[in-house]
C-alpha cells in the first residue's frame, strides 16, 4: 500500500526514549543531556504544530500511564519488566515487551495516527524500527552516543560497550530512513564507523534554553548558594561516572593548590550530579580522592538540582570543567556559556562544536594540562572577562527553536522518501537477524 502524502511537516510524531524518561531530572540515574534534548525539542515541535507522543518505560508504580506535559505533548509510560531495579544494560531483554506496549497504545488510535517515528539511543532505535515498520511510516533515529566511539575513548577502569550493542546500533543505522547527528564530527563517525549512507545523515545541533540560562549577578548567586563571595569555584555538572571524568577536575584542583597555596582557603570544587552507569556499580570515591589529595574540605558534591538553581551554580562559578572522555555534544558547556561562565573542556567528540572559540580545549586528561588551563582562567581576570563575553555570544547561536527547525527539515525529507524497508528484510539489512539482542 503506498504511503499517504506527508510532504508537509508531520502532524504527529511518536518519539521513543526507552531507557530514560524525558521527565527525569538530568544528572539522576541515566538521565542527562538526552533527556533535556528530547523534552525541549518536543516543546518546540508542538508549538510549531507537530504534536509529539513520547514513549518511555514505566519505572515506578506511582507513574500515571499518560502525562499531558503541555498542549501537543503527551508522555506515555509503557510497562516493560520490573518497574525498578533494572539497569540500562539489562533493558535489551525488555524491548519486546516495550514494543508490544507501544503497539497496544497505537491499536486504539485511528489508522495513520502517527506520521513518523523518531527514536533516541540504540535501544529505542530497535523498538522504533519495529513500530515504523508496523505503521508503515519513516524512522528517524538519533544515536546520542555510540558504542564504537565510546570504546575508542575509554576512561581508565571503565568497561567497554558490549558487541551486542554495536550490532544493534549497526542494524538501526541501516534501517533508519534518516539519521540525525549532533555535530559534523558525529556525522562522519556514523559514516566511517557504521557505514551509514551520507545522503541519509543530517546534522541538527542541540540547543540551550536561552530564557533560563542567562547571564546574571555572580555574587548574588553565591549568596543564594551559601558560597563565600571570594570563593574560587571550579564546577563540574553531569552524571558521576568514569566517562564524564569528574576525578580529572579534582586532581587538577589539587595541583592548582600545590602551585599556589594561597588558593587553598578560597577553593571550592563543586560536583553537581548523581552516580550513573559504571559509577553506580563501582563508586568513583570522589570524597576519598579529594581527601587523599589534601582538598577534602573544598569538595562539595551536590545532588541534581532544578534548572533555575543550576543556572545559579553556573553564574556563581569561576569556570566550568567538562573533562569527558567521550561526548556527543556537551549541553553543559553551552548552558554554562549562556550564563556567561568560561568553560574548559576536553577536546573530544562534540565539545569543540559546543565550546567553539569561546572557551579553552584541553588535549587529553593529564593533571598538568588541566591545571594549566583552569589556572589561566582563574588567575587572569582579563582572560576570564573576554571568555565570558564570547561565551554569551556563542551560546546565542544554539537556541532550541533552531534545533527543532532543522529536525522538521529532516522529517520532511524522510516522509518524501518512499517507505520500502520491512522488518522481514532484517537479514538483508545487516546479515544478522534483527532479534539477536544480547
30 is annotated as contributing to ligand binding: yes
CA distance 385 to 369: 21
Do 391 and 357 meet the contact criterion of CB atoms below 8 Å apart? no
User: Hunting for cell 527514536 — which residue is that?
Assistant: 119
- Comparing CA positions, the residue from 240, 238, 254 lying closest to residue 367 is 254
Do 104 and 79 meet the contact criterion of CB atoms below 8 Å apart? no
- In degrees, rounded to 5, the angle at the alpha carbon of residue 424 between the alpha carbons of residues 409 and 111 is 55
Do 50 and 12 meet the contact criterion of CB atoms below 8 Å apart? yes
CA distance 362 to 101: 45
341 is annotated as contributing to ligand binding: yes
419 is annotated as contributing to ligand binding: no
31 is annotated as contributing to ligand binding: yes
327 is annotated as contributing to ligand binding: yes
57 is annotated as contributing to ligand binding: no
281 is annotated as contributing to ligand binding: no
315 is annotated as contributing to ligand binding: yes
244 is annotated as contributing to ligand binding: yes
260 is annotated as contributing to ligand binding: no
239 is annotated as contributing to ligand binding: yes
153 is annotated as contributing to ligand binding: no
Q: In this structure, what are the phi and psi dihedrals at residue 278, rounded to the nearest 5 degrees?
A: -60, -25
Quick one: 290 exposed, middle or buried, by C-beta within 10 A (0-12, 13-18, 19+)? buried
164 is annotated as contributing to ligand binding: no
- The binding site consists of 19, 30-35, 88, 121, 145, 165, 239, 244, 305, 314-315, 317, 327, 335, 341
- The binding site for UDP-N-acetyl-alpha-D-glucosamine consists of 33, 239, 244, 305, 327, 335
- The binding site for 1D-myo-inositol 3-phosphate consists of 19, 30-35, 88, 121, 145, 165
- The binding site for Mg(2+) consists of 314-315, 317, 341
Amino acid at each position: 500500500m503506498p504511503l499517504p502524502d506527508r510532504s508537509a511537516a508531520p502532524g504527529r510524531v511518536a518519539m521513543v526514549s526507552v531507557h530514560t524518561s524525558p521527565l527525569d531530572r538530568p544528572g539522576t540515574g541515566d538521565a542527562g543531556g538526552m533527556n533535556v534534548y528530547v523534552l525541549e525539542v518536543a516543546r518546540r515541535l508542538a508549538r510549531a504544530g507537530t504534536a509529539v507522543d513520547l514513549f518511555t518505560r514505566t519505572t515506578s508504580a506511582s507513574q500515571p500511564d499518560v502525562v499531558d506535559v503541555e498542549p501537543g505533548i503527551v508522555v506515555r509510560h509503557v510497562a516493560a519488566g520490573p518497574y525498578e531495579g533494572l539497569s540500562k544494560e539489562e533493558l535489551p531483554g525488555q524491548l519486546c515487551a516495550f514494543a508490544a506496549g507501544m503497539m497496544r497504545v497505537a491499536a486504539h488510535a485511528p489508522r495513520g495516527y502517527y506520521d513518523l517515528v523518531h527514536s533516541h539511543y540504540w535501544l529505542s532505535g530497535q523498538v522504533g524500527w519495529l513500530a515504523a515498520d508496523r505503521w508503515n511510516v519513516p524512522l528517524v533515529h538519533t544515536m546520542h552516543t555510540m558504542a564504537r566511539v565510546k570504546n575508542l575513548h575509554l576512561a581508565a577502569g571503565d568497561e567497554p560497550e558490549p558487541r551486542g550493542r554495536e550490532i544493534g546500533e549497526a542494524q538501526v543505522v541501516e534501517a533508519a530512513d534518516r539519521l540525525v547527528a549532533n555535530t559534523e564530527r558525529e556525522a562522519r563517525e556514523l559514516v566511517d564507523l557504521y557505514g551509514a549512507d551520507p545522503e541519509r545523515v543530517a546534522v541538527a545541533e542541540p540547543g540551550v534554553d536561552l530564557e533560563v540560562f542567562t547571564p546574571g549577578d555572580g555574587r548574588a548567586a553565591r549568596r543564594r548558594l551559601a558560597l563565600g563571595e571570594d570563593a574560587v569555584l571550579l564546577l563540574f555538572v553531569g552524571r558521576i561516572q568514569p566517562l564524564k571524568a569528574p576525578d580529572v577536575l579534582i586532581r587538577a584542583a589539587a595541583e592548582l593548590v600545590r602551585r599556589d597555596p594561597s588558593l587553598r582557603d578560597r577553593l571550592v570544587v563543586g560536583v553537581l550530579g548523581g552516580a550513573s552507569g559504571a559509577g553506580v556499580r563501582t563508586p568513583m570515591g570522589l570524597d576519598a580522592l579529594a581527601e587523599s589529595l589534601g582538598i577534602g574540605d573544598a569538595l562539595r558534591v551536590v545532588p541534581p538540582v532544578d534548572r533555575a538553581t543550576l543556572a545559579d551554580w553556573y553564574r556563581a562559578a569561576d569556570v566550568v570543567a567538562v573533562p569527558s572522555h567521550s561526548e556527543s555534544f556537551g549541553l553543559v558547556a553551552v548552558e554554562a556559556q549562556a550564563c556567561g561562565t568560561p568553560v574548559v573542556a576536553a577536546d573530544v567528540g562534540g565539545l569543540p562544536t559546543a565550546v567553539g572559540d569561546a572557551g579553552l580545549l584541553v588535549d587529553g586528561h593529564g593533571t598538568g594540562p588541566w591545571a594549566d588551563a583552569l589556572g589561566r582562567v582563574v588567575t587572569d581576570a582579563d582572560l576570564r572577562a573576554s571568555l565570558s563575553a564570547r561565551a554569551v555570544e556563542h551560546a546565542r547561536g544554539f537556541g532550541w527553536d533552531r534545533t527543532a527547525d532543522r529536525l522538521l527539515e529532516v522529517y520532511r525529507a524522510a516522509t518524501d522518501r518512499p517507505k520500502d524497508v520491512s522488518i522481514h528484510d532484517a537479514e538483508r539489512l545487516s546479515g544478522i537477524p534483527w532479534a539477536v539482542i544480547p
